[in-house]
Amino acid sequence: MILVLAEHDNASVKSATLHAVAAARKLGGDVHVLVAGHGASGAAAGAAKISGVAKVLHADAPHLAKPTAENLAAQVLALAGNGYTHLVAPATGSGKNVMPRVAAKLDVAQVSEITGIESPDTFVRPIYAGNAFATVQSTDRIKVLTVRTTAFDAEGEGGAAPVESIAAAPAAAGGATVTGQEITKSERPELISARIVISGGRGLGNGENFRKLLEPLADRLNAALGASRAAVDAGFVPNDYQVGQTGKIVAPDLYIAVGISGAIQHLAGMKDSKVIVAINKDAEAPIFQIADYGLVGDLFEILPALVAALPAR
């Protein structure tokens, strides 16, 4: 049996969960999805519809509304002894925060950001910013895995799994408490699941140009906005825009890199995109080596022309 820790916002499951379930189904065995939240029956119902899910376990408690790693780990650990061979979470900010805590408590290794499953105990994962791929075999009795969402196609709907209410594990004694959240509100698609991503780099010069030039294009294409680490470092946009080894990993149908030179650590986050467009004034920029369509020129002229060439939605 495999337990997948759902990523959700209580109202619904996030797309990352669909990718994690897809990976879990390749492991062999019944797939159970844990929805730990508060007032999360919407998310539990959503999880039940994911195809291939045998059962949804729904734990509800106020301390699980915006859970800390301590409380979420306690909830997973309360179930871990029930015969699960694999504990799986998407390699999102939340999954990466919680799962190593679970693994250490169980005295087992975690295999991070798997991109392939060769057998129930053998996994492929990127190392060195994706410049190498390691195949590793786990000798532990329980395998704790985080899944790189872009490596597994999202599982679709069509399931009708039963939802079982389970007792919430007590809040962890001495754990941290969440006292505030500042979530960027956006009408745009989520960066990690968008079909089209437009990312800006240092070539845009400043945050104002970033918005002024990239937002109209994102509007035309219904695209998510991302950024290179250099643009984040320079303060153009917040950190959650960052695409790269130390930011988000994306693999959209179309990735448009604007004013991005293509440092190794940026390429690590986007080189699995299906089609890559690069716009840069430096014809020697490394980004052109991986781009399907490179356009050398002044982005301040190209972007308005590109917007004008696309129909308004």
Residues 7-36 that bind other proteins (CB under 8 A): none
Q: Answer yes or no: are the C-beta atoms of 141 and 108 closer than 8 Å.
A: yes
Of 46-54, 63-71, 78-86, 202-210, which part binds other proteins (CB under 8 A)?
63-71
Single residue of 4, 56, 64, 111 touching other proteins by CB under 8 A = 111
User: CA 95 to CA 165: how far, in whole Å?
Assistant: 22
Q: Which of residues 78-97 bind other proteins (CB under 8 A)?
A: 92-94, 96-97
Q: Looking at beta carbons, which pairs linking 125-134 to residues 24 or more positions away fall under 8 Å?
A: 126/268, 129/245, 129/264, 129/265, 129/267, 129/268, 130/245, 130/267, 130/268, 130/271, 131/264, 131/268
Piece of the chain touching other proteins by CB under 8 A; list 17-25, 106-114, 154-162, 211-219: 106-114
Nearest to 255 by CA among 267, 247, 245, 239: 267
The residue range among 33-41, 131-139, 163-171, 210-218 that interacts with other proteins, by the rule CB under 8 A, is: 131-139
User: Of residues 242-271, which lie at the interface with other proteins (CB under 8 A)?
Assistant: 242, 245-246, 248, 253-254, 264-265, 271
- Which residue from 43, 114, 147, 276 is in contact with other proteins, where contact means CB under 8 A? 276
In terms of Cα–Cα distance, which of 109, 121, 125, 115 is closest to 150?
115
First to last CA, the chain: 46
Query: Minimal distance in Å, beta carbon 46 to other proteins?
Result: 18
- Cα atoms in the Cβ-side hemisphere of radius 13 Å centred on 276: 21
In the complex, the smallest distance separating the C-beta of residue 131 from other proteins, rounded to whole angstroms, is 5
Taking the complex as a whole, the smallest distance from the CB of residue 218 to other proteins amounts, in Å, to 13
Of the two residues 132 and 312, which places its CB atom closer to other proteins in the complex?
132
- The answer to whether 170 contacts other proteins (rule: CB under 8 A) is no
Which is closer to other proteins, CB of 158 or CB of 181? 181
For residues 221-240, which are near other proteins according to CB under 8 A?
Answer: 221, 229, 232-233, 238-240
- 216 sits near other proteins (criterion: CB under 8 A): no
CA atoms of 247 and 92, how far apart (whole Å): 10
**Residue 140 interacts with other proteins (CB under 8 A): yes or no:** yes
| 184 touching other proteins, by CB under 8 A | yes
Enter the DSSP assignment of 64.
Answer: G
Work out which of 28, 178, 206, 282 binds other proteins, going by CB under 8 A.
Answer: 178
How many residues line the site for other proteins (CB under 8 A)? 89
Name all contacts of 98-102 with Cβ < 8 Å and 24+ positions apart. Answer: 98/5, 98/69, 98/72, 98/73, 99/5, 99/144, 99/145, 99/146, 100/144, 101/69, 101/70, 101/73, 102/73, 102/76, 102/77, 102/144
Nearer CB in complex with other proteins: 58/229: 229
Q: Identify which of residues 166 and 302 has a Cβ nearer to other proteins in the complex.
A: 302
Q: Are 214 and 198 in contact (CB under 8 A)?
A: yes
Residue from 82, 165, 206, 289 touching other proteins (CB under 8 A): that is 289
